[in-house]
Amino acid sequence: MSGVRISSISASSPATGSDVAVGDELISINGREPTDIIEYQQLIDGDVVTLVLQREGRPLRHKVTVHKAIGEPLGLSIDSAVFDRIRTCDNHCTFCFIYQLPKGLRRSLYVKDDDFRLSFLYGNYTTLTRFTEFDLERVVEERLSPLYVSIHSTNPELRAQMLRNPRGATSLRWLRELLRAGIEVHAQVVVCPGVNDGAQLERTLQDVITLYPELATVALVPVGVSDFTDEPTMRSHSAEEARAVIDLADKYQRLSRELFGRVSVYASDEFYLVAGRTPQPAGSFESLDQAENGIGLVASFIESFAGRGDMDRLGTGFFQSVDGAPALGYRAPRSPVAPRGDEAAHDPASGAVNDASDQSTGEEAVALVTGEYAAPILRELLDEHDFADVGIITVQNRYFGGNIKVAGLMTGHDLQRTLAEVPASTTCLLPDVCLSEGRFIDGLGLEDLPRRVRVVRTTGQDLRSVLDASRPRRLVPS
C-alpha cells in the first residue's frame, strides 16, 4: 500500500478547524508510523495528538497538533484498516469459494486475507498458518479479542491436505496459545462431504472438547459448491449427510453442556434446511456471535419479526468501536437505505434511489424477493402472522449454480431474469443483504434491474415495519 488517507472529518470534532483535509496522506502520529487502525486508535487516545500529513500538490509535509480530551475520538475516518499490507492467505483450500468465482467481478472479491487484525476488526476467519510469535505477543498484550479461527480438521495430515499448505498441520498450536492467554476465540469447521465429515468430524469435535475447551463457539458450516468449481472432491451434502452432521452437533452440544455448563458446538441453519428439519429455535443459542455463519440466523429473524427479545445483534468484529475504522467489503453500507426502518424505491428510468413513501399508485400487491433457502421459511412466517396476502418471489441462483441458494448471494443477473416476469402492479421488497454499496456481487446495480424495487434492511423488525405500513394498500398477488 502506498499510504493511508483521510476519507472524512466529523463535524464539531477535535480535528475540525485544524489543517487536516480529506485526501491527506497520514505519515505519522506522535512520531510513530502506525501500521493499522488498531495502532492508530491507541496513538490518538491521548490529550495531545501530533499528526504529520502529506497533501497532494504540496512539496513538503506539514505537522498538525490537535488538543482534545483523553479518550475522545479525533474525528477522522481512514480509508483503510491496514496501513502496511494486508496479510494475504497462502493456503489453497479445496473448498475456497474465492476459487469458485467467475472472472470479471469486483477485484476486492478475489482478495484472500489471513490477517489476525482483520479477524479482530471485522470477524474474518484466519487459519493461523501465517501467525507468528510476534503476532501472538501483540494479540495478548493488546487484548485483541475475540478472534475467529478456521479449524476444519484437527487431524494434522488432513488439515494440511485440505488447506494445501504443510503449515496447516501445525498452525493450530497458536490456537492453544491464544486460549491459554485468555483470548476469546470463535471457530468454524467447513464440512466437506466425504472429506472431513463422519469419523473425521467426530475426531475434530472430540479434540475441540478435550484440547480446546475454552473455545467460545464452534460453527459447523456446509461447503458452498458452485458450478465454477474444478475440485473433483467437492460436492454438496445430501439430506442424509446433513442429518448426520446435525446429529453430531447435537451430541457435542449435550456433552459440552454437561462438561462446561454451556453449549459451544452448533450446526449451521443451512444444514437443517438441507436435511429437511426445522432450524433450532431462539432458546437454543447463548449468543449470535456466529450469525454470519448461519448459526441462529433463522431464529433471530423470526424473533425479530415477531417483536420478541433482542436478537437483531448480527455481525461480528469490533470495527464499529475502533475510531476511524472503515467498513470494508461486506461490512460496507449495503445500499442507500442504511437507516433502520427505512426503505427506498428504485426507478431504473431515473437512475436514482428515492423515498418510496409517497409513490404508491393505489392498492398494490406486495411480494418478498429472496433465495431458495429462505423462501419456505418466510412463507410459513408470513402465514403465521396474518400476512398470507404477501407473495414470495423465489430467485433461483443460476449465476453460481450448485448449492448456492442463500439470499445474500442473489445476483443482478438472476434478479433481472426473475423480476422481468413479475406483474408491474407488484411492489417487490428486496433484502439489502445481497448488496454492498448498492452493487450486487456480479457488479450490477439497482439501476440495472428491469423494474422498481424497494430495498429493506434484512432484519425481521424492518420487514415487519414495512409490511405493516403497506397493509392498507395491498392486494393478494396473483
pLDDT for 64: 94
Residues of the chain with CATH 3.80.30.10: 98-321
* Residue 260 confidence (pLDDT): 93
CATH superfamily of 4-78: PDZ domain (2.30.42.10)
The CATH number of domain 98-321 is 3.20.20.70: no
Where exactly does CATH 2.30.42.10 map onto the chain? 4-78
Backbone angles phi, psi at 477, to 5 degrees: -65, 145
Instruction: Give, for all 478 residues of the chain, the pLDDT tens digit.
Output: 457 899 999 998 999 989 999 999 999 999 999 999 999 999 999 999 999 999 998 889 999 999 999 989 999 988 888 888 888 899 999 999 988 888 877 777 788 889 999 999 888 999 999 999 999 999 999 999 999 999 999 999 999 999 999 999 999 999 999 999 999 999 999 999 999 999 999 999 999 999 999 999 999 999 999 999 989 989 999 999 999 999 999 999 999 999 999 989 999 999 999 999 999 988 888 888 888 888 998 998 999 999 886 554 444 444 444 555 666 554 566 665 444 444 444 444 333 343 333 344 445 799 999 999 999 999 999 999 999 999 999 999 999 999 999 999 999 999 999 999 999 899 999 999 898 888 898 989 999 999 999 999 988 999 999 999 887 666 555 4
pLDDT at 352: 34
